[in-house]
Structure 1
Amino acid sequence: MAIRTRSDILVLDSNAEEKNATPHQASAKRKWLLRGLKVAVFLVVVWFIGDTMRTGINDLWNSRQPLEFHAGWLSLAGVLYFVGMMPCAVFWHRILWALGQRPTFFESLRAYHIGHLGKYVPGKALVVVLRSSLVKGPRVDPAIAAASVFLETFTMMAVGAGL
C-alpha cells in the first residue's frame, strides 16, 4: 500500500504494488488468490456437509430405531437420485444455451450435480457460486451462468407451486 499526495489531498492507493508489479507477477498473484479462494470454498462446503451428517447421525442414534445399511440399496438410491435429477440438469443446460452460452453437456451436468453440495452451506448461496464457477470459460460468461441458476431455481419453484 502506498501513500501519495495529490495537491492538498492525501490519497491512499491500495493497488500501488500491483501497478508496479510486472504483468507476470500480478497474474501469478491473482492465480494464487483464486486457488486459495477455491480451496476455502471447498473446505467450507466439506465442513458444512460434515456438520449436516453429524447432526443427522446424532438424530438417528437418539431416535433409538434399529439401523440397517445395505450397500445395494444405497447404491440404487444414489443412481436413482442422479437419474431423477437429470431432467432438471438438462433444463438448466438448455437455459444456458437459450441465453447464448455454450457449455458442453458434460460441463453443465457436472456443474449442476456438484452445485447441489452448496445446499449444505447456510444461505445456499454456494449453489450459485459452484455452478457458475464450474461452467465458466471461454464459451460461458459466469455472470450469465449465475443468472441462469436463479432462472432454473425460480422455474422449479413455480412448477412445485403449481403441483
Structure 2
Amino acid sequence: MTKHIGVKLVNAFPMNRLAYNDFRGWQLPPDENGADDGYLVEYLDGGKPNTERFDGYVSWSPKEVFEKAYRPVSGLNFGLAIEALKQGKKVFRSGWNGKGMHLQLVKPPQSATPNDWRYDVTCGDEYTFVPGVKLMPWIGMKTADACFVPWLASQTDVLAEDWQII
C-alpha cells in the first residue's frame, strides 16, 4: 500500500452526526453517538450529487478527521498552494499589493506532440521551432496590469502562510 496526499476544494458546514442523519432522512444507528461533532461536507470536484439540496456529493465527516484533512481556503502554506496549482487551481497571496494577481500552472496540452512544445527561447519576442529545446510546465503569474509572465518564488513567498485559492 502507498501513501497519498490530496488537495480538494470543499464546502463544509459544522453539523453533528444526528443532525446529518436527520438531514438525509436516515435513522441514527443505535451504536452511533448522535452528539459527535463533525461537518457536512460538499465535494466540488465533479462527484455526482446525492441530494437535491446540493450541487456536489455530500457526506459527513467527524470533526477531528475533517480538521486534519482540510484548512480554510485562506492562510495556506506554500506547499499546499503548490498542491492546489497541480490540481488546476489558481492561487494568490493576500499580502500581494496588486489587484487581480494570481498564479497558475502552465503545462503542455495533452494532445500536443513533443515538437509542438519545442522552441528557441533565445530569439527575443520570436518563438521559433528548434529541435532539442523542450518547453516544460512552469508557473505563470497574472500581473496587476493584466499581463501573464513566468513567475519565480521569493524566500518570503516560500515561507508565507497567507496563500489563498481562488
Q: TM-score, normalised by structure 1?
A: 0.22
Q: TM-score, normalised by structure 2?
A: 0.22
Choose between structure 1 and 2: higher helix proportion. Answer: 1
Choose between structure 1 and 2: higher strand proportion. Answer: 2
